Amino acid sequence: MLESLYKYAAPQNFYQLSRRLTPWLAGAAALLLLAGLAGALWFAPPDYQQGESFRIIYVHVPSAWMSLFVYVVLAAAGITGLVWKVKVADALARASAPIGAAFTFLALATGSLWGKPMWGAWWVWDARLTSELILLFLYVGYIALQGAIEDRRMAARAGAVLAVIGLINIPIIHYSVEWWSTLHQGPTVTRFDAPAIHISMLIPLLIMALGFKLYYAANVLVRMRCELLEAERNSAWVRQLGS
Amino acid sequence: MNPARRKKLIIIIVLVLGVGIATALALRAFQQNLLYFFSPMQIAAGEAPSNRAFRIGGLVVAGSVQRDPQSLAVSFTLTDTLESVRVHYAGVLPDLFREGQGIVANGRLGNDGTFIASEVLAKHDENYMPPEVAKALAAAGKPIPHSAFKQTP
Amino acid sequence: MNSLGEFLHMGGYGLYVWGAYGLSAAILIWNAIVPTQREKSLLRELAARSNGRSGP
């Protein structure tokens, strides 16, 4: 186990493994997303209070979960790169940022499209929405930092520091609805009690969430390969790829 | 330290400081908004500000909604089951506005102790179920747990 | 046909529901295409570089 970990921490081995894995992950993600979409738009019943508008949950909640998950991956990869100087970890952090930013933007935008008809407002400055907006700023700040520093190792180090500082925001986002009075409701699924959502509505949500996760896995592998090709463009293994 | 390295270091320091300051400012602004709304009980206890606008949150009391047939004016009573406040509002109500629904209204207290709202938002809870299940629960006399407003006595 | 109309209407929330799904699909698809194209162009660039070196 540890041995294979060492093996695939080497960029050239990782590159080959990633090329083999990506089509399977992408295919599985596409199947799950299509199945989830059918469940979300067709098979799930409307909500007793919110009617059909409730279906926005199936894109809003997986996006929001992924916005947190990807950030934790980014920060963990950043620390790994900082401490053990693993190039693949640096690539993982750098490749995760644009995907995480996209999920965060989607969570905010779909939430807005849901908030207007149900709450009566596109946006409110409550603790949940504000902390999620700060998460978007953290992603954008990370991406800007990577763009501003030409030297990749320096950029990775600075990015890791920023990511770790921003990690404090993750529990704040999750618990904001419990710690403070917010317009946003409390957690439906990620809580200690049984989920407060009917099983017929829960299943498509879980399928979508898994689809989003596999989408991220496939997408981040492609982006990591690009990062590694650019970072290692003068190394022997990259030169060999060209010939 | 050579000039190129020094320049990079300065960029990093400025960026980290910038993000830090932005976060600190956001959190400061946030601090005033952390308590997004006051409950009727807090208002009865005099905790809500009297000189500026604030938000009130509670459940719409069944049978308390009075609509003016000539205009959009509406008044209703908000309760947290312990205290209640009469709210006056003129404007479009959200689709989820109904008796028993959680509501957050922005406005200020009038001299007579009623709340003059300039904006009314609906606060729903985290329960999702098909209409048939909700009906079956109601028929069985089991109340649907409404936890949009947790009571902290 | 009526059921398709109802489906698109989404109980009056069509604009919001389809807006949310359309935006999500657009961003997820765009987000997947960009790095795929970038990898292709990087590999092309690499091939061109090694051809130039080994060429006449």
**What CATH number has the domain bearing residue B87?**
2.40.50.140
Q: Does residue A46 lie in a domain region?
A: no
Residues B139 and B83 in one domain: yes
- Angstrom distance (rounded) from CA C9 to CA C7: 5
- What pLDDT is stored for residue C6 in this prediction? 86
Contact between residue A204 and residue A44 where contact means Cβ atoms under 8 Å apart: yes
- Residue A109 CB partners (closer than 8 Å, separation 6+): C20, C23
Can you list the pairs that A166-173 forms with residues at least 24 positions away whose Cβ atoms lie under 8 Å?
A166/A71, A166/A75, A166/A135, A166/A138, A166/A142, A166/B19, A167/A71, A167/A72, A167/A75, A169/A131, A169/A134, A169/A135, A169/A138, A170/A68, A170/A71, A170/A72, A170/A135, A172/A127, A172/A131, A173/A68, A173/A128, A173/A131, A173/A132, A173/A135
Number of domains chain A contains? 1
Cβ pair B16:A165 closer than 8 A: yes
Cβ pair B104:A141 closer than 8 A: no
Distances (CA, A) of A235 to A85, A218, A222, C38, C48: 17, 25, 19, 19, 16
- What pLDDT is stored for residue C26 in this prediction? 98
Establish, for the pair of chains A and B, how many residue pairs have beta carbons separated by less than 8 Å.
133
Cβ pair C39:A222 closer than 8 A: yes
Contact between residue B107 and residue B116 where contact means Cβ atoms under 8 Å apart: yes
Domain span including residue A203: 59-230
Q: What pLDDT, in 10s, does the model give residues B60-80?
A: 999 999 998 888 899 999 998
> Is residue C37 over pLDDT 70?
yes
Per DSSP, helices labelled H in B79-145 are: 131-139
- Angstrom distance (rounded) from CA A118 to CA B36: 18
Cβ pair C50:A46 closer than 8 A: no
Residues B63 and B120 in one domain: yes
Q: Does residue A5 lie in a domain region?
A: no
What chain A residue is nearest to B100 in terms of C-alpha separation? A49
Q: Does residue A142 lie in a domain region?
A: yes
Q: Does residue C55 lie in a domain region?
A: no
Q: Does residue C26 lie in a domain region?
A: yes
Low-confidence ranges of chain B (pLDDT < 70): 1, 5, 8, 12, 27-35, 143-153
Nearest to A183 among B23, B123, B127 (CB): B123
Q: Does residue B27 lie in a domain region?
A: yes
Nearest to B8 among A126, A134, A149 (CB): A149
> Band of the pLDDT at C56, cuts 50, 70, 90?
very low
Cβ pair C16:A53 closer than 8 A: yes
Token couple for A82: 């900082």
> Is residue A226 over pLDDT 80?
yes
Which of A106-120, B71-85, C18-32 has the weakest average pLDDT?
Answer: B71-85
Residues B50 and B123 in one domain: yes
Nearest chain A Cα distance for residue B87, angstroms: 17
Cβ pair B35:A151 closer than 8 A: no
Number of domains chain B contains? 2
- Residue C17 CB partners (closer than 8 Å, separation 6+): A52, A53, A55, A56, C10
Nearest to A180 among B36, B119, B121 (CB): B36
Domain span including residue C45: 4-50
Query: What does chain B come to in residues?
Result: 153
- Angstrom distance (rounded) from CA B53 to CA B76: 19
Cβ pair A226:C12 closer than 8 A: no
Residues of A within 8 A of B30 (CB-CB) are 127, 130
Residues of A within 8 A of B15 (CB-CB) are 141, 144-145, 148, 158, 162
Mean pLDDT of A133-159: 91
Cβ pair A55:C50 closer than 8 A: no
What chain A residue is nearest to B14 in terms of C-alpha separation? A145
Residues B86 and B116 in one domain: yes
Nearest chain C Cα distance for residue A67, angstroms: 13
- What pLDDT is stored for residue B29 in this prediction? 64
Q: Which of C3, C10, C24 to mutate to test the interface with A (most CBs of A within 10 A)?
A: C24
Averaged pLDDT score across all residues of chain A: 92
A residues 18-57 lying closer than 8 A (beta carbon) to C: 26, 37, 41-42, 46, 51-53, 55-56
Q: What is the pTM of this model?
A: 0.89
Nearest chain A Cα distance for residue C3, angstroms: 11
Which chains border B (3 or more CB–CB pairs < 8 Å)? A
Nearest chain A Cα distance for residue B49, angstroms: 17
Number of domains chain C contains? 1
Interface check for A8 against chain B (CB to CB < 8 A): the answer is no
ipTM beyond cut 0.90: yes
Q: Does residue C56 lie in a domain region?
A: no
Q: Does residue C14 lie in a domain region?
A: yes
Residues B59 and B90 in one domain: yes
DSSP letter for B35, please: S
Reference C24, options A67, A59, A35, A31; nearest CA is: A59
Interface check for C18 against chain A (CB to CB < 8 A): the answer is no
Q: What pLDDT, in 10s, does the model give residues A118-137?
A: 999 999 888 899 899 989 98
- DSSP labels for A63-109? HHHHHHHHHHHHHHHHHHHHHH--HHHHHHHHHHHHHHHHHHHHHHH
Give SS3 for A161. Answer: helix
Cβ pair C10:A52 closer than 8 A: yes
Domain span including residue B71: 37-143
Dihedral sign for Cα atoms in the order C2, C7, C13, C16: negative
Instruction: Write out the H or E segment, with its range, that includes residue B77.
Output: strand B73-79
Interface check for C47 against chain A (CB to CB < 8 A): the answer is yes
